[in-house]
Amino acid sequence: MNQKIEKLIKQFAKLPRVGNRAAVRIVLSLLQTRDGRAENLAAAILDATENVVPCNICGCLTDKSVGVCEFCRDTSRANGGLCVVRDMGDVWTLEKSSVFHGRYHIIGGLISGTAGTMPDDLNIANLSDRIKKENITEIIFALPNTVEGKTTQHYIMSVIGGGVRFSELASGVPLGGDLDYIDDGTLSLAFGGRRPL
């Protein structure tokens, strides 16, 4: 196979849920259909990677020119509720279901001995500051219901200590399940019936 094509297939195959077979189909489609889609794709990737950055405060992806995301700018979300999630995908899932109208905090991963992810690798250190500055009264954990999720949750609670209520999504979130696999109804029930910790 031509080296340039092989290189391109390898890049696509590295993407989540793509794999080699799908990567081959994508590359063939890009190279055989000369309608500008390849150029548009390349330009859109460059534009987004250069101009979208994590929010200075919460880690949600936002425009580089603004620096602070739509949720942190929205004063109607300054209602004391702060939802701790693993990544931006979880924020989009929660937003789509409209179950929460507060602020978010993306920690960017989970503490894991096997993966070698330590607390310092995560966006946890500025949480205590946020609680004071934004008058946060409740921290809602929407982390995966896994050993890593629970470990991370306990760690965050121990670092923050008292002065704020903690809760987690109620049962209905499948064990080991990620938020993006949960339908809106289940998520709504899990959020509404959240358990105090």
Q: Which is nearer to Zn ion, 58 or 164 (CB)?
A: 58
> Residue from 8, 23, 27, 55 that binds Zn ion (CB under 5 A)?
55
Contact in structure between 27 and 9 (CB atoms under 8 Å): yes
Instruction: Using CB under 5 A, pick the residue from 8, 9, 60, 82 that binds Zn ion.
Output: 60
Q: Which window, 14-22, 59-67, 112-120, 159-167, contacts Zn ion (CB under 5 A)? A: 59-67
Helix (H, G, I), strand (E, B) or coil at 162: coil
- For the CB of residue 103, give the shortest distance to Zn ion in the complex, in Å: 7
CA separation for the pair 58, 94 (Å, rounded)? 15
Question: What is the DSSP pairing of strand 138-141 with strand 81-85?
Answer: parallel
- Segment near Zn ion (CB under 5 A); pick from 53-61, 80-88, 161-169, 187-195: 53-61
Tokens of 18: 């793509």
Cβ proximity to Zn ion, 55 vs 122, nearer residue: 55
| Alpha-carbon gap, residue 63 to 51, rounded angstroms | 6
Residue from 8, 9, 23, 72 in contact with Zn ion (CB under 5 A): 72
Count how many Cα atoms sit within 13 Å of the Cα of residue 90 in the half-sphere of its side chain: 23
Angle of CA points 76, 161, 174, to nearest 5°: 70
| Burial status of residue 182 (CB atoms within 10 A of its CB: 0-12, 13-18, 19 or more) | buried
Residue placing its CB nearer to Zn ion in the complex, 79 or 188 = 79
Q: From the list 8, 9, 58, 107, which residue makes contact with Zn ion (rule: CB under 5 A)?
A: 58
Of positions 57, 84, 110, 173, contacts Zn ion by CB under 5 A: 57
Of residues 115 through 174, those in contact with Zn ion by CB under 5 A are none
Question: In this complex, which beta carbon is closest to Zn ion, that of residue 134 or of residue 148?
Answer: 134
Residues in the site for Zn ion, rule: CB under 5 A? 55, 57-58, 60, 69, 72
